C-alpha cells in the first residue's frame, strides 16, 4: 500500500487501500482479542481537535492510540489559541511540530482541508458537515465481517441524503465495489457533485449508484440497510419539520420486508428509536450497530498505523 498523507475523504483511498486497511483492521482486532501486543506507534502522539462533541470518535481514537503504544491529547477550542482567533494555518504549523498526527472533528470541511495544507504530519478527518470517512471504514469492516466480502453487495441508505454519512458511504461503496441506492425526501438529496462522482466511480467498476424518492425501491434486494438520525448537529431548529418529512423513510419491519433475507442493519449512532428506526429493527437479530461501533476502534488503529508508523 502506498503512503497516505492525509485522510480527509474516502476518495483519498483507492479500492486496494480500502481492502488492505480492512484486512489490517481485522488482524489488529484479532490481536487485541488474543492479547497479542501490537504497539506499532510507541512514542507517537496524536493531537485530537474537537469543535464538535463526540463519544465514539474521542474514545476510539484515544484508546486506539494507547493500545498502539502511543498517546493522544484532547484539544477543544477553549483550550487552544484557535478559540481566541489564531488562524487555522498557524495552528496547524505549530501543532505539527509537536505531534505525529492530527485528528479533527469540526463543522466546515474547508477547516480540515486548510489544516492539511499547512500541516507537516498526517491529518485525519474525524467528521465534518460533509464527510465522515473514519465511520465508513468501520462500516465497511463490519460488512466484510458479516458477509465475507464487499464486492457486488447491495447497500441502501435511507434518510437524509445531504449529510456526511451519506456522502462518505457513496464514496466508500463506489470505491470498494458495492452497488448503492439512496432514498431521501425532496430537498434532502445528496450533494450533486459527490453523487455524480460516485455514479461515475461505480460505473467504471461495473457497479451502480442510484437515487430514489421511494424508500421501498431503494431497499429492494438490499444486503445492507443504513440510516442516520434525521436531525444532525447544527440543524436542531429544523427538528419538527424534519420529523414530519422523514416519517415515510423510517426503517421498520414493513420497509425491510423487501430487503435480502440475510440483510444487515447499520447505524453510526447515536440513534433515536421510533424516529429513524424502530426498536424492533435496531435491537433485532439483523442489527450489527454495536459491532459497527466497536469497529471504529479497530479500523482507526489500522489507519493510524498506516499514517503515523
In a structure prediction context, what are the per-residue pLDDT tens digits for the chain, which is 309 residues long?
Answer: 455 699 999 999 999 999 999 999 999 999 999 999 999 999 999 999 999 989 999 999 999 999 999 999 999 988 888 767 899 999 999 999 999 999 999 999 999 999 999 999 999 999 999 999 999 999 999 999 999 999 999 999 999 999 999 999 999 999 999 999 999 999 999 999 999 999 999 999 999 999 999 999 999 999 999 999 998 766 788 889 999 999 999 999 999 999 999 999 999 999 999 999 999 999 999 999 999 999 999 999 999 999 998
Query: What's the Cα-to-Cα distance from 10 to each of 3, 125, 196, 249, rounded to whole Å?
Result: 15, 10, 15, 26
> Which pLDDT score, from 0 to 100, does residue 78 have?
83
Q: Annotated active-site positions, please?
A: 105, 132, 135, 228, 268, 296
Q: Which domains does the chain have, with CATH numbers?
A: 10-132+293-308 (3.40.50.1370), 134-290 (3.40.50.1370)
Is 55 flagged in the annotation as binding?
yes
> Which pLDDT score, from 0 to 100, does residue 231 have?
87
Is 133 flagged in the annotation as binding?
yes
Strand order in the sheet with 264-267: 209-212, 179-183, 154-158, 224-227, 264-267
Is 273 flagged in the annotation as binding?
no
3-class SS of residue 151:
coil
> Which pLDDT score, from 0 to 100, does residue 225 have?
99
- Cβ-proximal residues to 7 (8 Å cutoff; 6+ apart), any chain: 13, 122, 123, 124, 125, 133, 134, 303, 307
> Which pLDDT score, from 0 to 100, does residue 234 have?
67
Distance of alpha carbon 133 from alpha carbon 10, whole angstroms: 5
Is 57 flagged in the annotation as binding?
yes
Query: Could you identify the residue written with the cell 440510516?
Result: 227
Is 155 flagged in the annotation as binding?
no
Distance of alpha carbon 13 from alpha carbon 290, whole angstroms: 25
Distance of alpha carbon 285 from alpha carbon 263, whole angstroms: 10
Distance of alpha carbon 45 from alpha carbon 31, whole angstroms: 22
Strand order in the sheet with 101-105: 71-75, 45-50, 101-105, 123-127
As separate numbers, helices (DSSP H) first and strands (DSSP E) second, the chain gives 12, 9
- Which one-letter DSSP state was computed for residue 3? P
Amino acid at each position: 500500500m502506498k503512503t497516505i498523507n492525509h485522510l480527509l475523504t474516502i476518495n483519498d483511498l483507492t479500492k486496494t487501500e480500502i481492502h488492505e486497511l480492512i484486512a489490517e483492521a481485522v488482524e489488529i482486532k484479532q490481536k487485541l482479542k488474543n492479547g497479542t501486543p501490537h504497539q506499532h506507534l510507541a512514542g507517537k502522539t496524536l493531537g485530537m481537535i474537537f469543535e464538535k462533541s463526540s463519544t465514539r470518535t474521542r474514545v476510539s481514537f484515544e484508546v486506539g492510540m494507547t493500545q498502539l503504544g502511543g498517546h493522544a491529547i484532547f484539544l477543544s477550542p477553549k483550550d487552544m489559541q484557535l478559540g481566541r482567533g489564531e488562524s487555522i494555518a498557524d495552528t496547524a504549523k505549530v501543532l505539527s511540530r509537536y505531534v505525529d498526527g492530527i485528528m479533527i472533528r469540526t463543522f466546515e470541511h474547508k477547516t480540515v482541508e486548510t489544516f492539511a495544507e499547512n500541516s507537516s504530519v498526517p491529518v485525519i478527518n474525524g467528521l465534518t458537515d460533509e464527510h465522515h470517512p473514519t465511520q465508513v471504514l468501520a462500516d465497511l469492516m463490519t460488512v466484510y465481517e458479516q458477509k465475507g466480502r464487499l464486492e457486488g453487495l447491495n447497500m441502501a441508505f435511507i434518510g437524509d441524503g445531504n449529510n456526511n454519512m451519506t456522502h462518505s458511504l457513496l464514496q466508500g461503496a463506489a470505491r470498494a465495489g458495492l452497488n448503492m441506492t439512496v432514498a431521501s425526501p425532496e430537498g434532502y438529496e445528496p450533494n450533486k457533485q459527490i453523487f455524480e462522482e460516485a455514479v461515475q466511480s461505480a460505473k467504471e467498476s461495473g457497479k451502480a449508484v442510484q437515487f430514489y424518492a421511494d424508500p421501498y425501491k431503494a431497499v429492494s434486494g438490499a444486503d445492507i440497510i443504513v440510516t442516520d438520525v434525521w436531525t444532525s448537529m447544527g440543524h436542531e431548529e429544523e427538528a419538527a419539520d424534519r420529523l414530519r418529512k422523514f416519517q415515510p423513510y423510517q426503517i421498520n419491519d414493513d420497509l425491510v420486508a423487501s430487503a435480502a433475507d440475510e440483510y444487515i442493519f447499520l447505524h453510526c449512532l447515536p440513534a433515536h428509536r421510533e424516529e429513524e428506526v424502530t426498536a424492533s429493527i435496531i435491537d433485532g437479530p439483523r442489527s450489527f450497530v454495536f459491532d459497527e461501533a466497536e469497529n471504529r476502534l479497530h479500523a482507526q488503529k489500522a489507519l493510524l498505523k498506516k499514517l503515523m508508523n
